[in-house]
Amino acid sequence: MDVTFTVNGRQASVAVDPAEPLLEVLRERLRLTGTKEGCNEGECGACTVLVDGLPLDSCIYSAAAASGRSIETVEGLTGLRVDHLAVIDFAGFEALVDAVDGIDVATGNGPIVSHLDGEAALKFVRQRQAEPLGDLDRVRQEQMALRALLVKTMSNGVLTDPAGLYRLLDAARSSVGVDDTLTNGRLRAVAAELRKVQPTAVRFVQAPIERWGSEGSQPVAYLAPYATELWSALRSDTLDTYLYQHSTG
């Protein structure tokens, strides 16, 4: 069947199978590869697009259902193409933390640092209700845990001890999902580049959020107007200037 919809402001007409996911049409026919295939089950959000302004998982949304609608992908929203994506699930995160014998993070407001095994670390990054800023605090906790994982991986001999390295790679192989265009060769190159990185120099950047709200039944975060500065900084490789102007932790 033929369907016509608008993608990033332009009309597109394509012949689709009735059950063909929108994700496939966007990536394979329209070459909008910034929309990623991750879990393919509506769980990870890697394939999210806006359909008539509502966020939807394009892996479980049929292209036929998009007929006559307006679709926005990451390319249309930001002017950027996302090259690659890596996803880790709960069990994988737990396994990675255990593979480096636990991580050290400040779990309270004070300077006291706790040593967490995989199970405790997962509980830490998932806790939400107790935190005043809800999801934003959860993001902060996830960043703290990732930094601690990075520090532990790049120190304490994990990368030089053959047994430790084997445990880590084994956990990573079975835990981390990557998009379908990220090859082993590219992954090896990234790993080699990472050896030169100081964990303490790593900065996490979050899209600036102005307020929370809802669209239909979907809870959504509305971006602050200066989010466009972040997209341009990524395009022009001037993220250091953006970070200087907007301290994001």
Min dist. Cβ of residue 161 to ligand FES (A):
35
Decide if residue 20 touches ligand FES (CB under 6 A).
no
Judged by CB under 6 A, the residue of 20, 57, 72, 75 near ligand FES is 57
User: Residue 166 is encoded by which pair of tokens?
Assistant: 């084997």
Characterize the bridge pairing of strands 2-7 and 10-15: antiparallel
Among 12, 24, 29, 39, binds ligand FES (CB under 6 A): 39
Give the H or E element holding residue 125: helix 118-126
Q: Smallest Cα–Cα separation from 37: which of 25, 50, 24? A: 24
d(CA 150, CA 199): 6
Q: Binding to ligand FES by residue 47, rule CB under 6 A?
A: yes
CB of 64 to ligand FES, least distance (A): 17
Residue nearest to ligand FES (CB): 59
Relative to beta strand 48-51, strand 70-72 is antiparallel
User: CB-hemisphere CA count at 13 Å for 163?
Assistant: 1
For residue 48, the minimal CB distance to ligand FES (Å) is 7
Q: Looking at beta carbons only, is 35 or 141 nearer to ligand FES?
A: 35
Q: How far is the CB of 35 from ligand FES (least distance, A)?
A: 9
Within 143-172, the residues that bind ligand FES by CB under 6 A are none
Q: For residue 153, how many other CB atoms are within 10 A of its CB?
A: 20
Contact yes or no for 87/47 (Cβ under 8 A): no
Residue that is written with structure tokens 């994990």 in the block: 158
DSSP annotation of 199 reads: G
**Is residue 42 within the footprint of ligand FES (CB under 6 A)?**
yes
Backbone dihedral angles phi then psi of residue 62, each to the nearest 5 degrees: -75, 145
15, 17, 18, 43: which one binds ligand FES (CB under 6 A): 43
> In terms of Cα–Cα distance, which of 216, 179, 173 is closest to 45?
179
Q: Any contact of residue 63 with ligand FES (CB under 6 A)?
A: no
Q: In terms of CB distance, is 46 or 103 closer to ligand FES?
A: 46
CB 187 → ligand FES: shortest distance, Å? Answer: 19
Collapsing DSSP states into helix, strand and coil, what is residue 120?
A: helix
Smaller CB separation from ligand FES, 21 or 118: 21
Among 7, 14, 25, 46, binds ligand FES (CB under 6 A): 46
- The contact set with ligand FES (CB under 6 A) reads 37-40, 42-47, 57, 59
